[in-house]
Amino acid sequence: MTIRKNIRGGLYLALFFLCAAALQWHAGAFRAEFSSDPDEPAHYVTGLLFRDYVAAGFPGAPLQYARNYYLHYPKVAIGHWPPLFYLLQAAWTLIFTPSRISVMLFLAALTAAVGWFTWSILRARFSPGVSVGAVLILLSLPAFQEYSHDVMAEMLMALLVLLAVIAYGSYIDSGRWQAAAWFGIWSALALLTKGSGIQLAFIPPLTLAITGRWRLLRRFSFWLPAGIVLVLALPWYAYVPDAQHESVARFGGVAVEYSRFTESIALWGEFLGLIPSLAALAGVAVVIAAIRKRTIQGVWIALMAALLGAYTTRLFLGAFEARHLVVSLPLLLIFAAAGWDRIFDRDLLRRWRSGGTSRSVAAAVAAVAVAGLIGFNISRSHAKTHFGYAELAQELLAQHRFRSSVLLVCSDSTGEGMLISETAMHEQRPGHIILRASKMLASSDWMGYDYRPLFDDLEQQLRLVEAIPAGVIVIDDAGRNTPHGRLLYQGIISHPEKWQRVDLPAGNNRDESPAANILVYELRGQERMPAGKIKIPMRFKGYGDMGN
C-alpha cells in the first residue's frame, strides 16, 4: 500500500512539473529574456556568481571574487537579498547547465513542489478529483504562472511557507518538539530567501489566539522555533552589509499602512478570480466553524494563522509588495477546495442524486467546470515579451573584433539587465566587461531613486566613454528617453567619424515592445585599443553598488 501511494505521489509530482513547464512554454519563457522585472536578471546573474565560484574550485576570498564578477556583470545582488535562492539555483545549474531552459525547468521544479505539497494537504481530507483539480487551478492562475516562469524567489517562498505550515500543523496536533524544530528550520530558510519570510513569525501567536491553548507558552517546544531562527537567520541580517534591505526604509519601514486593510484582500481576490475567491470564502467559513467545534486538524489552524500572518505583515511592513501576496495563493486554493467540497460534493451532489443524477455525471460536470476555469485562467495570462537582446548578445559574442571590447549598455534597469544576463549566459565567464550607462553616466540609489545625470556637456561625457574605451554601445528607446542617454545618443550621431553603426540583424528578432529599436554602435579602431583602468561606482559598504 505504501509503495502504491509513493508511486501515485510521484506521478502527481511529474504531472505538476509537466503542467508548469507547458505553461512556461505557452508564455514564451523558453525564448524570452529575463525581462518581467528589473530584479529578474539580477537574480539570474547572482545565481551564476554562486555557480561559477563553486565550479572554479572556490578561487580566493568570496568577496573579492564577487567584486571582480560585478565588474564584468554589474547585476550582482547578493547582500540586498539573502543567499538561499542563489544556492539552490547554483546547485541546479551545476548539475545541469546555466542555460535559459535549464533555469526555467528549475522554476518548474519549484512550482511542481508547491503543487505537490498543496495536494498532500488536500488529499488527507478530500477526494482525488477535488485535490488534483485545486492544484491544477492554482498552477493556471495568471499571477501564479507569472512567478513560475520569472527568475524570482516567490515560488521558493511559497514552498517554504507550505512546509512551515505543515510542520506547525503537526506540532499543534502532536506537541512534539521535532515538529516545532522543523517549523523553525523552514522559517529560518524562508528568511534566508527573502525578508518577507517574517510573516511566518505570526503563526505561533495567532495559533494561540485561535485555539486558546495558552498553556503552550510554558513549553520549551513552543519557543524552540524562535531559537532556531535566531541562530540560523539572525547573523545574516545582523552582520551582512545592506541585508536590512534598503527598500524597507524606502517604502515606509515599519508603520501602519491603512490603505492595505482592504487592498490586500482585493489583491487576493484579483489574483484568484471570482469563482475561486467565492469558494475560498466558503472554505474559510467551513474551517472557522470546525475550529469552534474543535473538530479540525492542526494543519488547518496553521493555514488560517499563516494567511492572517501574511495579511498582518503587509499592514505594518511597507516593503511587503503586492507580488509578495502571490506566496499565499496555495493557502487560499486549499481553502477554496474546502469550500468547493462543501458546496458541490455534499450539498449539490446530494440534491442531484436525489433527482436521479449519478455520481459519475456529477463528477463529469465538475471536471468540465474545472477545465473551463483553467482554460479561462490561461487565456488571461500574459506572455513574456521577447526584446531581441538574446540574439543581440550572441551576435556580439560571435564577432571576432568585439572579443575584447568593453560594452556599454544604455537602457532602463531591465534593458541593461537583459544584455548583461544574456551575455553572461552565453560566454565563458568572467568574460566581457559590461558597463551600465545608468551607473556610469548618471547617479541614483539602489532602488533607482534620487536620479541625476552626471554630465550636462555632450563632449565631456563622450570623452569619458571614449577614454575607457567603451568599444561597443548598445542603446534602445528606453535609454534614449533618459537625460544621460539622450546626451549619449546625440554625441554618437554627431561624430560619425568616430562612431559607426553596426548592423546586427539578429537584434531585430523580437516581439513588439516599448523598448524596441535596439541600436548598436562601435568606436572605430576600438579593437586595437586596450581597456584602461575603469572606475566603477561602488557606494554601498561591503558589497558595493551591486544590483539594480
Residue 537 has pLDDT above 50, yes or no: yes
Q: Which of 225, 332, 224 is nearest to 278 (CA)?
A: 332
Residue 379 has pLDDT above 80, yes or no: yes
Preceding peptide of 59 cis, ω within 30°: no
Residue 370 has pLDDT above 60, yes or no: yes
Average pLDDT of the chain to the nearest whole number: 87
- The CA angle 149-153-157, to the nearest 5 degrees, is 115
Q: What is the DSSP string of 302-336?
A: HHHHHHHHHHHHHHHBTT--GGGGGGGHHHHHHHH
How is residue 341 annotated by DSSP? I
Residue 508 has pLDDT above 70, yes or no: no
pLDDT digits (tens, 9 = 90+) for 438-496: 999 998 876 667 789 889 888 999 999 988 888 999 999 999 999 999 999 999 999 99
Q: Which of 300, 46, 68, 86 is nearest to 172 (CA)?
A: 300
Question: What's the average model confidence in pLDDT over 114-129?
Answer: 92
User: In this structure, which amino acid lies at residue 403?
Assistant: R
Domain ranges of the chain: 2-31+99-242+253-380, 32-98+385-548
Q: Which residues contact 21 (CB under 8 A, 6 or more apart)?
A: 104, 105, 108
**What pLDDT is attached to residue 511?**
52
What's the CA gap between 277 and 300, in Å, rounded? 18
What's the CA gap between 242 and 547, in Å, rounded? 11
pLDDT digits (tens, 9 = 90+) for 245-297: 544 555 555 667 778 889 999 999 999 999 999 999 999 998 998 888 887 88
Place of cell 560585478: 70
Q: CA of 410: how far to CAs of 24, 405, 426, in Å?
A: 29, 16, 20
Q: Which residues contact 526 (CB under 8 A, 6 or more apart)?
A: 405, 469, 471, 472
**With bands split at pLDDT 50, 70 and 90, how would you rate the model's confidence at 348?**
low
SS3 144: helix
- The CA angle 170-174-177, to the nearest 5 degrees, is 85
The neighbour count for residue 114, using CB atoms within 10 Å, is 30
What's the CA gap between 169 and 337, in Å, rounded? 18
Cβ atoms 77, 39 nearer than 8 A: yes
- 372 - beta bridge partners? none
